[in-house]
Every structure is written in C-alpha cells, then in structure tokens.
Amino acid sequence: MNSFLLTFLLSALTATALFAQPENLMPVPSEIKPGQDRFLLTSDFSCSISGTDQSRVLPAVSRLLKRLSKMTTLTFDPDTVLTPVQTPSLQISFQRAGKLTPGESESYQLNITRNSISLSAETDLGILHGLETLYQLTERSSAGFFFRSVSISDSPRFPWRGLMLDVCRHFFTAETVKRQIDAMSLVKLNVLHLHLSEDQGFRIESKTYPKLHELGSNGQYFTQDEMRDLIRYADLRGIRVMPEFDMPGHTTAWMAGYPELGSVPGPVKPEKRYGIFGSTMNPAKPETYTFLDTFLTEMSGLFPDEYFHIGGDENNGEQWDANPDIQKFKTENNLATNHDLQAYFNGKILDILTRNGKKMMGWDEIYQPSLPRNIVIHSWRGRDYMENSARDGYRSVLSNGYYIDLFYPAEKHYLNDPVPAASTLTDTEKARILGGEATMWAELVDEETLDMRIWPRTAAIAERLWSPGSVTDPDEMYRRLPEITRRLEETGLNPVTNRDKMLRRLAGTDQIQALKTLLNAVEPIEGYKRHSTKPGYTTFSPFSRGVDCALSDAPDVIKARLLIRNYKKTGSAAALAELTGLADAWISTGPKIKKLAESSPAVRELVPLAGSVSRLGVLFKSRLKAFASGKTTGETKAKETEIASLSKPVAELEPVIARLFDELKNHPAKK
Amino acid sequence: MNSFLLTFLLSALTATALFAQPENLMPVPSEIKPGQDRFLLTSDFSCSISGTDQSRVLPAVSRLLKRLSKMTTLTFDPDTVLTPVQTPSLQISFQRAGKLTPGESESYQLNITRNSISLSAETDLGILHGLETLYQLTERSSAGFFFRSVSISDSPRFPWRGLMLDVCRHFFTAETVKRQIDAMSLVKLNVLHLHLSEDQGFRIESKTYPKLHELGSNGQYFTQDEMRDLIRYADLRGIRVMPEFDMPGHTTAWMAGYPELGSVPGPVKPEKRYGIFGSTMNPAKPETYTFLDTFLTEMSGLFPDEYFHIGGDENNGEQWDANPDIQKFKTENNLATNHDLQAYFNGKILDILTRNGKKMMGWDEIYQPSLPRNIVIHSWRGRDYMENSARDGYRSVLSNGYYIDLFYPAEKHYLNDPVPAASTLTDTEKARILGGEATMWAELVDEETLDMRIWPRTAAIAERLWSPGSVTDPDEMYRRLPEITRRLEETGLNPVTNRDKMLRRLAGTDQIQALKTLLNAVEPIEGYKRHSTKPGYTTFSPFSRGVDCALSDAPDVIKARLLIRNYKKTGSAAALAELTGLADAWISTGPKIKKLAESSPAVRELVPLAGSVSRLGVLFKSRLKAFASGKTTGETKAKETEIASLSKPVAELEPVIARLFDELKNHPAKK
C-alpha cells in the first residue's frame, strides 16, 4: 500500500506529478518557457537529422525510439521513422561532432509546438542531451502520449559532471557498468571515473604484466576488449571514461602478482577486509618506475581520455618508515617527509603520463606546490583543498560532499554546491573548479544493491552540477525524485525491482508489505558507522539484510514531511488523513514484523526496530492530532527523551520518524 | 493484494508451501525418504570435498555458499568453510569428473541427519545436481535456517534434458544467456541448444567469413571469446552447449554477407518480419559446400560438444523450383523430389561434420532412410516422427509439445511424456528416445520478457524429463511452481521483477494493482494465433503491451482452481471466503481499468477485456454461491452463451475464468 500511497500523495500534492511534465525535468534546464499546445505522439512519427558525423546521433535516436516504443506500445522502426518526408515530426540539426573533453559545447535548444519538434545544437553532444530531455517530457493523457509545447535553451553549469565507480571492493560486470552509463546519460552526467585498482582487487587485464589481473582479481576483471567496448558505449552517449590506478598506497592487489613492487617483502593476497592496510609501492627502486612506465603506457593506449587519475590517497607511510632503503633514499634525495617522497613519486608518474599525452589527476593528497599547474586536484577530504588549489592556480573537481556510499540523504548532496553563492573565490579561481563527481565506493554494495545505492540520489547531484545555482529547493527536488526513478527504471536500471526481490528473499514469501512499511520509515546509519560494526564487513559479507534494503531517503518519512508542509500551507484535510494513515501503518508494523520473524530468521534482528517504529507511530499520531487541533508547542521533556531513545539505531538502521516532530511545532493561523 | 493472496492461499492449502520442504523439490527425486530431524544452518558451517578433479565442484560449492549467504544473511566465506575440520558439516565425495555426453552418470545420494550432510556421486555432475537439491531443501523456522533430515537417491529418467534458445529473432546478451544457464542448473537441465542463424539474424562471429556476423546481425552477435566463456560457464554447471546452424532454409541472414550462397540472386538484408521466407542455400553449386566446409570446420572447433545441429526445417522448395540450374542438378543426380535434394545436401553436410568428429542432429525434416543411424532426429512437427525414427533405428529428442513460445499452460507441457506408459515401442526403441528440449522461439519475446516466458514453465518440463514417469499430478506441480519461482528469483532470474517493472511502465504509475488483478485472470492467446494478428509483429515491435505482461498460467485462475478443489475435498470455509474475495477483485477490475486508461493510453485496449472479466466475476460469484448452497447443476443455456461470449479474446488476451465453471458442477456430499 505504501508505494501506492507515495505516488498518490505526491500527485495529490502537486496535481501534476503523476506524469512527466516540463516542471518534472531533472536536471532542470537553464531556460524553459512552457507553451499552451501539445504535440501528439502517433505511429507516423518521423525524424530528420542534419549534421555531418551522425555516428552518435543515429544510435541515440534509435535508443529514444526504442524507449518510446516500449512506453507507448507503438512501433517505431528507425528505418521507417528516418525515411525522408516533407515535414518531419522531429528535426534534428547540429554543426559538428563534439570532442569528449571538459568545456566542449554541450548546449542545445529544444522547441516543441503543436505540429513539430526542433532540436538543434552546436555539437552532437548537445543533441544527445536534448534527446534525453525530450524523453523526460513524454506525457500521457486520454488522447494518447504527447509532448507539451515548450521552448528550452539549455547548457551545463559545470563541464565536469561525473560518477566514480569503485569496481575493486566489489566487482561489477560490464553489463552493470553499461546500465550506469545509460542512467548517467539520462541525467546528463558526462564522466565515468573507474577506480580500477585497490587493496581488494586489480580489475583490468594487463597484457604487459598479466599477473596483475591473474593474481590480483580472483578472476573478476574487465578484459581489454570489454573495456574498449565500454569506452565506445560511453562515447556514443557523450560520456568520457577516465581510469584511476590508485598509487602508491591501496596497492595490495598489485603485489599479489608482483611483490617486488612493494615496500615490504611479499607474498600477499588481495585483501578481503576493508580499511587502510599500508601496502605501498617502493618509490626508492628504479625498477618501480620501469614497471610503471610500461604499465601506464599500456593503459594510456587503452584509455583514450586525456585525463588519467593516479589516486594518491591514504598512504599512511608505515611501510616506508619501516624500510631502511627507503629511509636512505629520502636522505640522499633531500626528501624531508613522506609527503615530499610521495611528491617525488608523483613527479615521476607525471613524467610518464605527460610523455603519453595525458593530464594527471589525483586525490587531494597529491596537492603539492612543486607539481605543475596542469594537474587536476580531486577534492575528497574537504572543500578547502579544492578552494586552496583554485587559489593556487590548480583546476579541481569536488567529491567531498558527494560520497554516495555513506548513506546520506539526497538533500545533503543536493545542497553541496562546488561554487556556492557565498564563495569568496575570484571569477578566475571559480573557473578552475571544473565540477564534481559522485563517488560510489564499493565496500558495502554489490551487484544487487548497486543501482539503488547510486540512484536516484545521483540524479540530485547531476542537477546540482548541470542546473543554475539558483535551483536549490530540496522539497522540489524530492517531488521530482520518484518521477526520475520511474524514468531510470524505464531506462533499464533496477533501483525498485531489486529491492522488491531482496525483500521477498528476506521475508521468504511474497508478503513483503509489512517489511516495506518498516524499511520505508528507516534509514541506514550514516557516514562510516557501518564500517565500525563488529565483527566487520568483508568482501564475502552478504548484503541482503534489512539495512541493505533500506534507502538513504526513507520514502515514507520524506512523504510525510512533504504532506505536513502541504498541510501547513493549505490545511488540506486529505493531507491530514494521509498522515494519519501513515501513522497507523507505522503503529501496525511492530506486531506484523514480530509475526514475520517467527518464520523468517533473517528478519529477527528487525523486531526491536519495528517496536521503536510502532511506538514512534503512536507518538507521532498523538502529536499530529494535537497539532491539527491548534496546539503549536512541542513535546514534554519526558516525551522528548523517549523519542530520542526510540530513535537509536537497531541493526544498523535508524528510525527517522522523530525528524517529523520538529515540523509539527509551529502551527500557522488555521484557515 | 493478489500476489499476497496467492502465497497465503497456497500455504493455507498445503500448510507447508510457504517454505521449501522435501516435498517442494522440483524436479521430484527418484527416491526420497524423509527423516524426523533437522540440520541447523549456522555460521560455523564447514565442508570437505573428496574427489580428484574439483574444477567443477569447488566453484559450485562457492555458488551455493553465496546463495545461502544471501538468503540467511550469514557470512559463508568459501576459504573458511573449506578449511579442514574434524567433522565437516557437509561431506562431498565423488569418483571422477563426468564427461558432458548423453548417458554419463548424473546420479547422486544425499543424506541429511541432525549433525551432518553427506553428498556422494560417481561423477562431479551428480554432485552439482545434489548441491542444487540441497539448496532447494533450505527451510526457515523461528530457530533459524535448516535442512530437514532426509535420504535421497536420485538419477535422471532421460539423458537429454534441454532448452533451445532462439537468439536470432531477438538477440539475448551473454549475461542473459548465463542467467538461463543458472536456471537450467537449478532444475537439472543439461543441454543448452543455441539456435544461432536465421532469416532475421546471424549471431556468432565468424573469422573465416566475417561478413556473416558483420552484415547479418545488425551488430548483435556473440564474439567467439564470449561464446567460449559461455561454453565454459555452462560446462562448470554440467551443461552442454550445442550449436544450431539452420540449413538450407531459414538462411536470409547468411545471404546478407554472402549472396552467392543463395538459390536466387541477392542482395538481401536480414528479415524484420516473421514467417517462412523461402531463402534457401543453393545445393547445386560446389562452392556452397566449400564454404560450408570451411565454416563448419571453424564452428566445430569453437563448439566442443560432440553434437551439431543443422536445423533443416521448413524448406518450402520455392527457390529451388525457380532456379533452372538446381532443376538441372536434380535431374542429373536422379533426385526426384526436393526432399531427395535436401537429403543429398544433408549427406554432404554429414560428411563435413563427421570429418570434424561431430554427430549430426536436425529437425525431423532431415529424417530420411538414406542417412546413417548415428544422426539424431529432433522431433518438432509431431511425436510420430520421433516414434517412427526410433522404430527405424534412429535416436531422437522430443520438442513437439514443449514449444514454450506458444503460450500454452505448464500443465500441457507437463503431461507430454516422451515415452508415455501407453507407448507401443519396444524397450530397445524406447532407449533411442534420449529426452526432450523446451524450445524458446523468439519472435514474440525480448530481453525484458525472456525470463518470464521461459520460467517457471520450463521447470515443469525439466521435471517431466528428470523425474519418474509416475510423477504426473498437475495440481501438485502447480502447488510447487510458486516455490520454484522464488528459487529462480533468488538464483538471479527476473520472472517476477521484470513483470512488475513492465506493469509500472504500462500504467505510468506505481499503482499497478488493478492491472495485476486483470492480467492475473487472463492468458495470452495460444498457439500461433498472435502471429496472425494485423498488422503483424516485426523485430521492432515493442513487447510491452498487456499481453506481454500476461502469463500462460493465469495465476489467480490457477489459484481459484486449486481452492475449488480444496473446497470440494474439505468444505473449508476459508477457501470459500478466498474464492469470494477473488470474485470481488475480478468484479472491481472493470471500473478500475477504465479509470486507469483515462491517463494511460497503452491501457485503453484492455478496457473491454476488463469489462468481460468484471462480468465473468459476477457470474462466477453467483455460481459459487449456488454451488456452496448445494446446487450441483451447471448454467442455463443463456448463461453458457454469455460466458462463451465473454471469454472471447480481446487485445490478444483470453479471459480464462470460464474454465472454473466446470469445476463447480458436481458438488460432493456436504460435510
């Protein structure tokens, strides 16, 4: 009943949310002028393309037609649709093929009238974005599927809009990565950053040093053929693929095949546990650089992107301190600290990459004034690293605040602006901030949960990086999130389906409604808290518990918050009734989960949680009643203590209903 | 509410169906003796393996552990589980690695006691089957996950238990094919027959004739690397991969790259429409055999299986008749009919295959007494072809009656025994019948619907081919089908999730319950009826309509039938109440679908269907009431006419509620 309610309520709130509309676009375009007419989508839909190199646009039109076919159940055979006619329904024109490089033109103009659609752009990349906008604009009515007439002129705020995917802690198949590329394309992201080496795995075939993937991957890696195919797949969607090889730390998996690279003697195996293990390359041996020269030259040939990420994070220096040769090397080369030594190492890598025509990028640890200004600093520890880099003449990309592996709600990421209105940087410095990347570290995620951990939250980040800085209303973002989730699902992602599947397995039955009610009211504990649980996660942990089925934006609590705000604005009796319904569902979850746990052992750990949610439901219902009758004060001290106590995490899950009590404090004048 | 009801009801009916039990196994083992104890599955589970070549068993144990981990949420790291201990929980022992050839030993013995599990077999293939049985035996209780103590001695009835997958009319990715292999392994099928060439597509990379896949596939084909990987994947699961290249007919896609192979001049493109197109290789040119010699030699090297399928079906002879050279060739070689000419062609192919160490197989058109007795006849047009072949000394495999693309209910396939009790064949002749293959022709199925079109019905066929011939009760099969569906989902298949996703897209909202109620009461029209609709399907048709979300076993009608039979046996008031609830749901579907269609254009075609279901619901409820009050007669003539009229197909869907009326005719003595 809850997902039913969610859709129903959100549509009740907005009167328009049920079907896509210009105001449902994500990301929001820079300029949009709605019209009054409708373009009706019929089976005689036709399309013309004018532009020299159509190698990206033609398949993009085919993909759009396929999705429209599936949605409308009309047959759109590309051969038929593209057969020349006098006045094509959709006229596409562009000047030239875009280069996949930051700053390339990605803008487009889309104009929909009653009788025709025109989409124009300088580059084919703009056309790709315009086609995705068009897809998001599809609406339904009793008369059929249609596009509302509209005039859109759109271009991105930042040139670097990325998703970093860690394929090392858990591996993801090429097909799964392609799905992420499809989703990125839907929300106009343009950089897929693949984190390819780690303590837990080395994930790309090397022909020059085959023991890297043979002994470092447990058999799970991309072949070079697969990677070329992935890169081509991304290119066709206007998305760059940037490789990362994390060095000199986080390198246990390299040493499995080549222990001589290490600062301490081997042998080692890829790690199964998580954390910082200290495994570090030996920067004092010339052989290390010979190895890296050959290897990085090989990889520079495989990955056509001009940027090359060398990681560089979390080298704790322990292995360097313990190795007398390395200490001696430091002294001989006047390298006072390990940071200096790492800068020396980075300089050597930079030479190799430069020789291969690459621009070097690294996590903010590589920021060191001795390095030239054409490297890119990737800020993860704090936005001050980014801002300092910008002042110091370096370009940078922000990931601090976009760590989607840490279970924070979409709102937190959404409000994290790389260049906020209050920024004290000069315009020149601001221009050095290229954009941002959502980072999906993969300790606590696997094939099954990946889609729902990345999406839809990354759509909110995509909007932050594409749309004007003035687009900042989280409620408005949350209103559109279910709509983009449906689009994601239509595009092939599984944020909804996999969750249902997991709930059925957890419950051992198709009767998952009680479990869904519970898990829609709670959120996984945030930050690194799940990492510090006992006995601790490994690469073999099953990510199939209640916490793995919970979302970082508890859907029913988000829904309740929107309902309360609506009620406060409009006094809507329907909103109040729905809120009461939600409270009743929460109240009922305790006994239901207890019953389910009798036959579903994996549900047992959720029984105390369900008890808390039940009791919070009772308190919420009573607070709601008081509020509706005009009582605007808060809770008693005793109640507040009880609420705080009920909100304590259980089984790595936090009941977040308490957040709603604050919303019920200041009753506006009753209408 | 309906899937909830389904589970609830089936469990109410059997009191045990909710969780897996020995009596829920599919296929049913040949011998099973249940015990009284339980083996509790805990995190200190351990395993020992004794057997020389563990290359199949080790990964199989890992796969089992992964699924058990996911289900139980306990961590089973294979390294830990396989660490030697004094008394391992699971002791596996086998003699030797099995050969993937029909007739190889696949039997196993599984013995579960309170404290230990032993699994033994002659070959590792038996162990693989035993591990899947063990997985299916997992149960849940308040005390945790457990296996009921049991003693099983199991072996297959037929050595050839296959699934044929047409990857030509629609292409399926390697990942999708691997999913089918996983499912086959779950239900003990052992042959994946890949139909690799057709009028609509040529789906394997050829290094000797690259234009075959380059011009014949629209870019959708398996590379040889992918195919080797697939074959290895299947081998690890004890499954043979047999290729089929359909010749001399059904060959349009070959001619796209090599028109000189054809009996009429080119150029041609791969077909988009379906049917028999007459495109046929030219059997009169020596160059044809030179080409096929090179190509089939290449493919014989790629596919290690000893059997090689040459198709041979549906050559209508039109192109041969129209070609004077071919007519002349027939005369010169004393070939009276086109059938004789095809036998000549087959003889040439047989020579090539024999030289490559292959045994030839083909559809029953190739049956021709001039061919040697070591070929295998694949019966599709009728079981008489199989029986005649058997009498004539040929071995054969049955697919007639297993055409799962034709939307027949599981029961029809289930009752189709290759060697029924009443068979008039001698024992020697019977032994020539190797088994059967479910055939998934792919005109009306795509990536999204494949899993739900193949499964769970193919599990019923798998049971027919594995279990003793005495296991024949369809109700008992239908009782277990939801359970095996849950296992299939846990194993990675999407028969449930994809359907929900499709329903959300069709409805344009998450509120899919009304649509589900309607589509759970109807079935796609059967046989070739969907092929004759206007304007006709093509490879670009969207398979996203109501009919594509409907199942060949309407779940609520099956459920109602089981409930009625239960009610007739037990007089259960609960069963009666549930039946009334179903009737009420059917009654309500008319107005609900009408409302939904106002905003969901793709639903409009279902409105009249929902009207029929509504009215059938009214009639069913009234009949049910009469029946419950002891009236055992049938309907009036007028009512019967109305029911027949309401049961007419709409939008390629048949309301099958009428089938239940017959069940309500003979009321047993009231208790």
Q: What is the pLDDT of residues A225-268, one digit of tens each?
A: 999 999 999 999 999 999 999 999 999 999 999 999 999 998 89
B524, B654 contact by CB (below 8 A): yes
pLDDT score at A278: 86
Q: Is the peptide bond before B267 cis (omega within 30 degrees of 0)?
A: yes
Residues near A585 by Cβ (< 8 Å), separated by ≥ 6?
A1, A2, A517, A556, A617
Containing H/E element for B464? helix B457-466
- Which chain A positions have a beta carbon within 8 Å of B175's beta carbon? 173, 175
Q: Does A294 touch chain B (CB under 8 A)?
A: no
Helix-, strand-, coil-residue percentages of chain B, each rounded to 5:
45, 15, 40
Q: What is the pLDDT of residues B161-181, one digit of tens each?
A: 999 999 999 999 999 999 999
Which chain B residue has the Cα nearest residue A75?
B541
Distance separating alpha carbons of residues A156 and A128, to the nearest angstrom: 13
Number of H helices, E strands in chain B: 26, 17
Q: What is the pLDDT of residues B135-156, one digit of tens each?
A: 999 999 999 999 999 999 999 9
Contact B77 A143 (CB under 8 A): no
What are the DSSP calls for A148-171, one per residue?
EEEEEEE--S-SEEEEEEE-SSS-
Residue B625 has pLDDT above 50, yes or no: yes
Name the one residue in this structure whose structure tokens are 């239900």. Answer: B187
B600, A138 contact by CB (below 8 A): no
Q: B98 is written with which tokens?
A: 């099995």
B169, B443 contact by CB (below 8 A): yes
Which of B510, B520, B547 best tests the A interface by mutation, with the highest count of A CBs <10 A?
B510
Q: What is the pLDDT of residues A474-519, one digit of tens each?
A: 999 999 999 999 999 999 999 999 999 999 999 999 999 999 999 9
A520, A620 contact by CB (below 8 A): no
Q: Does A15 touch chain B (CB under 8 A)?
A: no
3-state SS class at B146: strand
pLDDT score at B8: 39
Distance separating alpha carbons of residues B239 and B421, to the nearest angstrom: 28
Distance separating alpha carbons of residues A79 and A382, to the nearest angstrom: 51
Q: What is the 3-state secondary structure (H, E, C) of B18-61?
A: CCCCHHHCCCCCCEEEEEEEEEECCCCCCEEEECCCCCCHHHHH
3-state SS class at A456: coil
Contact B509 A18 (CB under 8 A): yes
**Rounded-to-10 torsion of CA B316, B319, B324, B326:** -60
Percent of chain B with pLDDT over 90: 90
Nearest to B175 among A3, A173, A508 (CB): A173
Alpha helical stretches, state H, B573-666: 573-599, 607-628, 637-646, 659-663
Which of A205, A504, A540 best tests the B interface by mutation, with the highest count of B CBs <10 A?
A540
Segment B465-470 mean pLDDT: 97
Distance separating alpha carbons of residues B121 and B109, to the nearest angstrom: 6
pLDDT score at A58: 98
B619, B649 contact by CB (below 8 A): no
Q: What are phi and psi of B501, to 5 degrees?
A: -60, -45
Distance separating alpha carbons of residues A483 and A137, to the nearest angstrom: 11
Distance separating alpha carbons of residues B350 and B373, to the nearest angstrom: 12
Segment A542-551 mean pLDDT: 98
Segment A337-349 mean pLDDT: 95
pLDDT category of residue B668 using cuts at 50, 70 and 90 = low
DSSP A53: -
Which chain B residue has the Cα nearest residue A543?
B70
B528 vs B275, B405, B407, B408, B443, CA distance in Å? 11, 9, 9, 11, 11
CB pairs under 8 A between A and B: 152
Q: Is the peptide bond before A210 cis (omega within 30 degrees of 0)?
A: no
- Which chain B positions have a beta carbon within 8 Å of A225's beta carbon? 223, 225
Nearest to A501 among B69, B141, B497 (CB): B497
Name the one residue in this structure whose structure tokens are 């099969």. Answer: B477
ipTM: 0.93
Nearest to B497 among A223, A497, A601 (CB): A497
Residues near B656 by Cβ (< 8 Å), separated by ≥ 6?
B521, B522, B523, B554, B557, B647
Residue A21 has pLDDT above 90, yes or no: no
Segment B324-338 mean pLDDT: 96
Q: What are phi and psi of B117, to 5 degrees?
A: -125, 130
Residue B5 has pLDDT above 60, yes or no: no
Residue B1 has pLDDT above 90, yes or no: no
B530, B654 contact by CB (below 8 A): no
Distance separating alpha carbons of residues A114 and A233, to the nearest angstrom: 34
Instruction: Identify which has the larger pLDDT, B499 or A383.
Output: B499
Segment B350-369 mean pLDDT: 95
Containing H/E element for A118? strand A117-123
Helix-, strand-, coil-residue percentages of chain A, each rounded to 5:
45, 15, 40
DSSP B549: H
Residues 167-226 of B with CB under 8 A from A: 173, 175, 223, 225
Name the one residue in this structure whose structure tokens are 């959300």. Answer: B504
Residue B10 has pLDDT above 50, yes or no: no
DSSP A371: S
pLDDT score at A668: 63
A528 vs A251, A364, A532, CA distance in Å? 22, 20, 7
pLDDT score at A4: 39
Angle at B334 between CA B329 and CA B338, to 5 degrees: 70
Burial grade of A424 (CB within 10 A; 0-12, 13-18, 19 or more): exposed
Predicted TM-score of the model (pTM): 0.95
A268, A262 contact by CB (below 8 A): yes
Name the one residue in this structure whose structure tokens are 């999906």. Answer: A440
Distance separating alpha carbons of residues B48 and B274, to the nearest angstrom: 53
Question: Which has the minimum average pLDDT: A508-512, A552-556, B305-309, B427-431?
Answer: A508-512
Domains of chain B are: 31-154 (3.30.379.10), 161-471 (3.20.20.80), 496-664 (no CATH)
Contact A72 B597 (CB under 8 A): no
pLDDT category of residue A534 using cuts at 50, 70 and 90 = confident
Q: What is the set of active-site residues of A?
A: 314
Distance separating alpha carbons of residues A413 and A423, to the nearest angstrom: 17
Containing H/E element for A514? helix A513-519
- Which chain B positions have a beta carbon within 8 Å of A536's beta carbon? none
Nearest to A3 among B142, B510, B600 (CB): B510
Residues near B323 by Cβ (< 8 Å), separated by ≥ 6?
B263, B264, B282, B284
Q: What is the pLDDT of residues B582-597, one digit of tens each?
A: 999 999 999 999 999 9
Name the one residue in this structure whose structure tokens are 């040139």. Answer: A159
Which chain A residue has the Cα nearest residue B76?
A540
Distance separating alpha carbons of residues B106 and B102, to the nearest angstrom: 10
Q: What are phi and psi of B168, to 5 degrees?
A: -105, -50
A559, A14 contact by CB (below 8 A): no
pLDDT category of residue A665 using cuts at 50, 70 and 90 = confident
pLDDT score at A23: 86
- Which chain A positions have a beta carbon within 8 Å of B508's beta carbon? 18-19, 140
Distance separating alpha carbons of residues A400 and A119, to the nearest angstrom: 36
Q: Does A69 touch chain B (CB under 8 A)?
A: yes
Name the one residue in this structure whose structure tokens are 């837990």. Answer: A200
Residues 533-592 of B with CB under 8 A from A: 538, 540-542, 544-545
Q: Does B6 touch chain A (CB under 8 A)?
A: yes
Alpha helical stretches, state H, B221-337: 224-236, 252-257, 286-302, 318-322, 324-332
Residue A632 has pLDDT above 80, yes or no: no
B164-174: string of b/e by CB count within 10 Å (b at 16+)? bbbbbbbbbbb
Average pLDDT, rounded, for chain A: 94
Handedness of CA B74, A523, A165, A429 (dihedral sign): negative
A132, A188 contact by CB (below 8 A): yes
Chain-centre distance of CA A233, in angstroms?
A: 19
Nearest to B542 among A7, A73, A504 (CB): A73
Q: What is the pLDDT of residues A199-213, one digit of tens each?
A: 999 999 999 999 999
pLDDT score at B631: 78
Residue B231 has pLDDT above 80, yes or no: yes
B563-575: string of b/e by CB count within 10 Å (b at 16+)? bbebbbeeebeeb
Segment A533-560 mean pLDDT: 96
Radius of gyration of chain B (CA): 26
